[in-house]
A and B are shown apart, each in its own frame.
Chain A
Amino acid sequence: MNRKYIKAVLISSAVVAAFAIFHYGCQESKNLSAGDEAARVYVAPGSYDEFYMFTSGGFSGQVGVYGLPSGRLFRQIPVFSQDAEKAYGYSEESKPMLMTSFGFLPWDDAHHPELSQTDGVPDGRWLFINANNTPRVARIDLSTFTTAEIIEIPNSGGNHGSPFVTENNEYVVASTRFSLPIPNEDVPISSYKENFKGTLTFIKVAPDGKLNIAFQILVPGFDYDLAHAGKGPSHGWAFFTSYNTEQANTLLEVNASQNDKDFIAAVNWKKAEEYIAKGNFTKTSTTYYRNYFDERKHMAFSEKNSEVKILTPEDCPGLIYYLPTPKSPHGVDVDPTGEYIAAGGKLAAVIPVHSFSKMIKAIESKDFDTDVNGIPVLKYESVLAGEVENCGLGPLHTEFDGNGFGYTSAFISSEIVKWEIGTWKVVDRIPTYYSIGHLSIPGGDSKKPWGKYVVALNKITKDRYLPTGPELTQSAQLIDISGDKMKLLLDFPTIGEPHYAQSIPAEILMKNSKKIYPIEENEHPYSIKAEKDARVERKNNDVHVYMSTIRTHFAPDNIEGIKVGDNVYFHVTNLEQDWDIPHGFAVKGAQNSELLILPGMTETIVWKPLQAGIYPFYCTDFCSALHQEMQGYVRVSPRNSNVELAWGTGK
C-alpha cells in the first residue's frame, strides 16, 4: 500500500515535471527548429549575398540596403531626412534636395521602395520611394546608391499610394491618401463632401531618369491607399485602392468602415495620354519643387514649377472605372501574367481577385451598377475571378512567386498565407512575429519573380530580441518558399518601420556600382584639381577656403586671418582616386555636421565662429596609418583685428 502510494506519487510527479519542462521549453525556444536553416542563411566571411534588399526606413525617412539571405545591413541611403553622418541636408550642396513649396524640410516618412523596370522586370537602374507626409517621390541612382532627384507632388494631402512603376518606367504613379480642397483653401472641415477632392498623379520618367508631373486626375474625395500598374495584357492601366468612400472627416476608424464595398480605381493611362494630346485638360496653377543632383558639379539644384495639367473624369469618358472591392482595401497587386488583380480588404474575410479580361468585357457590355461623379462602377460579380477564403484576418498585401502562387500578409492574425492562382485555395500558411505589414519576394510585383524567399516585414517585435527599453527594433523575417511548405530561416532587425522592401539579384547591381568620382570630371565651381591651388579668399564677411585632402593631410592645414562674425565656407575636395578612401572634415563648434567627402568629390560646410581663439579641425574617417596626424588649425581673431589672411601646409 505504502509502496504503491509512493510509486503513484513518483509517476504523477514525473508526468507533471515532464509537462512542465515541455511547456517551459516551448516558451523559451519560440519556434526554434533544428534543421539546415543556419547553413541556408550563412554567408561566409568575405563572400557576397545573393540579393540586395532595399527596405523603406519608414519614419527615419531613409532607405536601408541589406543582403539576402544573411540579413546584413550594408548602407543607409539618406533620402527625405537629414543625415549628419553624410552631411546630407547639412552641406551646401545637398540642402536643395530637401526644398519644397513649404520651405526646407528636414524630415519625412518614407514608405514604398520600387525598382525601375524594363519589360516589366526590375532593371537595377533606379529605386523610387515616396514621402508620405509632404508628398514627394525620390529617385535613387543605384550606381552610386545616392538620392539623385526628388519631385514634390502638388494637390495631394499625403502621398501613400506611390511610387509604383509601369512596365518600362513610362510613369511612376502617386495617389493622395488624404483628400483636400483643390486648390487648397480655408474651408470648414465639415464641408468635406462638398469641397474635398482626391488626385491620382502620373509622373513621367525620361530615359535619363528625369521626373516630370505629366498629369493629374481629379477624383472623388476618398482616401486613396495603394496602387500598382498593369503588366502584359493590362499594360496601359493602373489600379488604385480607395477607402473612406463614406467621405467621413472624423473618427474614420468607425465612420469609414460602414460601406460593404469600397473601390479599386482602374485608370486607362493610354486613354489619358490621348486626352492630354487633344488638349482635354485644365491647367491649374500651384507650386511644387523638383530637386536634382548634378553628379559632375557635385551639387543639388532646385527648380520651382507652377502649373499642372488636370483631367476630370466627367470630361474624359473611358478614362477611369471603379471596381467594387470589399471592406476598405489596402494593397492592390497584379500577378505576373497581368490578368489578376488581388486586393487586400483590411476588414474583409476573403481576398477578392479581379480579372482584367472580365473587367474589359464588363466595360464593353456596360455592366455598370451605378456611377460616382461620372465614374462608372462595374458590377462586382462581372469583374471577379475568385475569392480566396480562409485567408487569415486583416489581409493587406500580396506578392507572387512566378510559379502560380500568391502570398498574402494577414496583419491581425500575424501570418502569411500561400494560395493558388485559379483554384483560389489556401495551400500553406506560416505565422510571423508579429503583426506583419508588407511582405516581399524578389521580383514579387514584376512579370518575372525570382522567388526563392519571402520576407515578412513586421511592425511589432515584442519578445523576439533582447529588450532595449520601451522602444524596440522593427524586424524582417526571411522565409524559404522554394518548397511546398514555407519555412522560417532567419529573423533580423531593420531600421525604421519597414513598410515595404524590394530585392534584386546582386549581380545586376554589382557590375554598375561606381568606385570613385573621376577628379578630372569634377565641375564643382569651388573644386581644386591640385594641391597647389589650395587657397583662402575673402569677400567681405564671406571667407572661401579651397581645401584639398589626400592621405594624410589637408591643404591648407593652417589658416589665419579669420574674424569673429565671418561665414567660413570650407570647400573640401578629396583628391584621392582610390575606392573606399573617403576623408572626413570636422571643425570645432560646427553648428551643422561633419563632411564625408568621397574620392573625387567636393563638398562644402559653412562655419560661423562666435569667439576669438584657436580652432582645430581634423579628418573624421579613418583613412591611413597617419590618420591621427590629419589635422589643422584655424586662428580666429576679433572683428577689428589686423591679422592678415594667411594659409599653408608644411611651412
Chain B
Amino acid sequence: MWILCQYPPLNLHPVFRVLFLITIRFLNGMNQPKSSLRRSLSVYLVLISLFFGKNLIAQDGKALFQTNCASCHAINKKLTGPALADLEARGPWADRKKLYAWIRNPAAFAKTDEYSANLLKEYSPVLMTGFASLTDQEIDAIVDYIKKPAPAPEAKTAGAPAEPAKDNSFLFGILALVLAIVALILLQINSNLKKLSDVKEGVETPDPIPFFKNKAYIATVIILLFLVGGYFTIQGAIGLGRQTNYQPEQPIYYSHKVHAGINQVNCLYCHGGAMEGKHANIPSVNVCMNCHMAINEYKGPELVREDGSKVNGTAEIQKLYKYAGWDPATNKYTGEGKPIEWVKIHNLPDHVYFNHSQHTKAGGVQCQTCHGPIQEMGEVYQFSNLSMGWCINCHRETSVKFKDNGFYSIYEKFHNDIKNGKMDSVTVEKIGGTECQKCHY
C-alpha cells in the first residue's frame, strides 16, 4: 500500500492521480480514528463532485447550444446563420478572444474586423443577437460541442428486410392443373383397359360418344359458364364508376406515413379547408416550404413504393424545391416555380354534393372514418368505395353529436324527447340525412 502511495501511475490524468491518492488514504483511514476518516471522506466527495462537474460542463455544451444558438445555427447546415462546423478554421475564430468578443457583441466587433463585417452583410438583414451573458467557459463548452463528431447514425439492427410474403396461388394453380391432367390420363387408361378386357371377353360395346357431343357434359359447361360469367358481369357492372383502392402515382412521392404518422403533423395543418368549407385543401407549395426550407434531406426509415421500388426521400425533397423555385444553395426563392399537379384520388360524380366542413365541423367525424388509416399510407389509396350505399349506411347508423351543438338547436322535438328520455340518440337519418335533396340537387 505504501509503495503505491509513493508511486502512483504517472501517466494518469492529474485528477485521477489525486483521486487515486485520496482513495488510498481513505482505505488506510479505515483503521484510523473516526474524525480523520470523516475528513478524508469529505475531501473524497468534494473531489468526486469536481471531477464529474467537469463532465457536466462538457455535456452542457449541447444544452447551451440548443438554448442560445440553435434557433439560427445548425452544425452542418447553413440556415438563418452559417453552419458552425469547422468554425475555428475560418476567419479570425481560431483566436478564442476574438470569438468571445464577437459572440458578446457582434455589431461592435464587426467594426474592427473585416471578415465578420462581410458575414453581417451576407446574412443581412438578420443581425446576430449578442450574448453578453455567456462566460468564456460556456462559449468553450459550446465550441467543444460543435467540434465533437456527430454520433454515427444507428446501425441498422434489423438486418435483411423481411422477405415479402410470396404469392403461392400461381404455383397451386399449376399443381392443380398437373393433377387434373394425371387424373384424366388415368381415367383414359382405365377406360382403355376396360375396352381391351371387353374385347377379350367378346362383349359388344357401342361406339363411344365423344365428350363434346355428350349432353351431360355440354349442360354442365353451360351452367358453369352462366354462373361464372354472370358473377363477373354483375361485379364489373357494380364496380363501374367506383374507384376503391385507386392509388395513382403522384408527381412527388409524398408519404402521409412520414408526415402525419411519424412526425405527427396534424391533418389540418395542410388540409385546413376541411374545417372551413367544401374542399379539404390541397396545400399550396408554400405550406410544404414552411418546414422544407430547413429540412432538406430525408433520414427516416426506408421508403418503398407499392410496386416495391425504393424511393430516395432527399431526391423527392429536391423535386419539391424545383416546383417551389427554391434555391437550396442560397436559401432564396428564384421566382421560377410551377404548381405541383397532384392526381386527385377521391372523385365524386358531379351529381353528388359533398361538403367536408359539414362532416368535420358540424358532425365531428374523424378524417380516418372515411379516408382509412391515412397516417400509415406511404402512397394514398381510396379506402372507402364512396358508393351511395356506403353513404346512406353511415347516415343510418351514426349518431350525431346532438347536445350542445349549435348546428342542431332548431330540432326542438328531438331535444325534448332526449330530455324526457324517449330517445337516447339522434342519427343522421332522423335529421334528414337520407333525403335525396340533401346530396342530389
Q: Do A and B bind each other?
A: no
Question: Contact residues of B with A, CB < 8 Å?
Answer: none
Interface residues of A (CB under 8 A from B): none
